[in-house]
Amino acid sequence: MDLAQSGLQAERTALSWQRTALSLAVATGAWERLSHPQLGAVADAVTVVLALLIGWVFLGSRCRYHRAISQSRRPRPSSEGAPVLLALVTVVLGLGILADLALLRR
């Protein structure tokens, strides 16, 4: 049985997107917890924005998977926004960590 026909390839792709989103959510939560004493409300605001972006990526991967399964003979929907959002979340999280480290050295 071909993987594309069985839906396993789409499922593995969706699961990898969901694992990535979950890992970034955990990293964001840990960063917020550790940086809140130094950054205060800024850390809260950044965490809320990152959580919304991560949630969008997570739910988007589930929707793309279910759409791919139900329309297996049609062309796959584009997912160009998800990599950009994950890159944005990673960059913002990295900048937040660097800002936190800079404030700790003071």
Does the pLDDT at position 86 exceed 70?
yes
- Global pTM reads 0.68
* Percent share of the chain, pLDDT over 70: 82
Number of independent structural domains in the chain: 1
Q: Which domain holds residue 39?
A: 3-104
Report the chain's C-alpha Rg in angstroms: 17
Q: How far apart are alpha carbons 103 and 35 in whole angstroms?
A: 9
Mean pLDDT over the full length of the chain: 79
Q: How far apart are alpha carbons 71 and 65 in whole angstroms?
A: 10
Does the pLDDT at position 102 exceed 70?
yes
